Structure 1
Amino acid sequence: MVNFLDIKIFRDQQGNLATTLYRKETATNSLLHTRSQHPHRTVTGIPVGQYLRIKRICSNQEDFKREAKQLYECFRERGYSHNCLKKAYKRALETDRQSLLTSNNTHSGAKNRFGKNNTKPFRLIGDFSAEHNKIKHIINKHWHILQQDSQLKEVIGDTPLITFRRSKNLRDTLSRSHYTQDIKTTWVTSKIKGCHRCGDCSACPFVVRTLNVNQSRDNTEYTIKNYINCKSTCVVYIMQCTCGKIYVGKTLLEQLKQTSRIGDINTVYTRV
């Protein structure tokens, strides 16, 4: 007799190899509770998948019925209704075991850009929320807009397969893993805010490291909400002359290239 994962392999009375379900002694009832915030189809689909799993593992019909009865009690402890479990058990009982032992790759997907049938449907994956039904309705309602592109239509197909991943729950917020992977922090991922110098350009001597900017006209203080340095683009910048005059401008270029405008700004100061 050999126990491997959730399968017990042994010889029956005729000396043939047989399989049945194997449970560890430390196994607990960790089935999803019916009151958990999951899509309704996911909750009702779990009993079907579990009964079909037992059907596939158990080579003997009597073993299947015995394990199915024990599984029924586990599901009842997690709040599943009798009718839901009855339908799942009946479906597994009427399913041919040989069909469960062979892979099924007959997904009807769209054609890819090479003109071949895609074995996998086009998936849209997002975090689950209470508005998942509304999200699916909006996507399906306006999917025809994307299909107006002839090349894109061959990739996305007629209808998308909308699936959801587990969203952040209360446990994720209150408890953290003791294992944390060290991540090298760069200026892109840094949580430090304010204006800083990059350290390797000709504009660094002109950059003032600060978190707040004061407007001298009405004494208004502005807080820099992001990390900005000499190489940042799409910024509003302030240049102050030694005489106290201030020049405010905006640019799509890096501040490194703004040093060439210092002479022009000095000319502006003389005209103010």
Structure 2
Amino acid sequence: MVRTVRDALTDALNDLSEQKAFIHKLCESNFKGISPIRYRCIEGRGTYDIVDRIIKHYTEEDAAGVVIQVLEDINERQVSKILATDLEHIRNIGNGASDEVDKPVCKKAKYLEDTSCSAWEAIPYGQALRIHRICSDEEDRNRHLQTLKDALIRTGYGARLIDQQFQRATAKNRTDLLRRQTRDTVDRVPFVVQYFPGAEKLQHLLRSLQHVIDEDEHLAKAIPTPPLLAFKQPHNLKQTIVHSKLPSLQENSDHDTTQPCHSNLCKTCRIIDTDAIISRVNTIHQVHGTYSCNSANAVYLIRCRKGCPEAWYIGEIMQTLRQRMNEHRSTITRQDCSLPVGEHFSGHGHSASDLRVSVLQGGLHDTRQPRVAEQKLIAKFRTHEDGLNRDLGFMSHYL
């Protein structure tokens, strides 16, 4: 595919760390006496739409000059330089100039030197090196290299560049390539942050402030070199709804239930409900896993020992079941009727000894999972309609 001026302008705008400054300057600039583009025409638009608007407002040839001028005005000289070189390359191809080497202008990279084309060259070299290492037969290796060369040519690589990188790769001693490589240990202190857009700029910030650490005697010994910047993945929707661990498909056993912890000081052991199958009307729930008074990160069920049909309460816990039941027992003792459990079990003919508690689901390891499980089980047993739960849990405000 032939590279166009539109492609070069789009890539240049994508390379900007901040497009707002470019847009504001563009809407203030007069070029060859032509009135500037109105801000409302490109506000909130994508890069492709902005480039399309620039080309329509000016000509395609003038659009390149406008963008370069604006980039210079906002001190994006590196992007301006790359764009100018890219446009010159496009013009040379359009004028029929030889493109035998086919060494395209390298775009501004985030992890390479800005003016380096090593990324473009590294792909054929790396793939050829891999084939050279894997194939022990020279004829078989050459056949795979030819297949790779045909594929690279179809993507826009020049034959001369491919041959140069293939020759460089095959010149390596295959014995050395098969030998296990040992990496040098890095003594730099890791500085781990959650990734966010623009986090790459922290590297420059760490280096520029290294002198503050060097001036302190103790810090200079602990961190003699700039810290090693590393990013961890932020929590996303996939991690919330997709789990690598599948639920157990084994049949319920006698051990899948809630058992007392048998501690001498534990008051929750007396009210533990050991039923492995919980049923209500036409709803049946099997308990999977073994739980006790010390279980945490779970969803629990409270029922009345006297069999009150409406006395069903489902809740979620991050602390242990014992701690949560102590809180419920306290509300009953204080006759706190503002809470549903305290209201029922402090009423006439009831006491804290009428509590029965069991774990419905456990092994929930973050703050979201117990809340989601709680909501599902409340809806399953309908305890928000015919029970002590007053709503569906943490999503009640959105339903």
* TM-score after normalising by structure 1: 0.37
Higher strand fraction: Structure 1 or Structure 2? 1
Q: Which has the larger radius of gyration?
A: 2
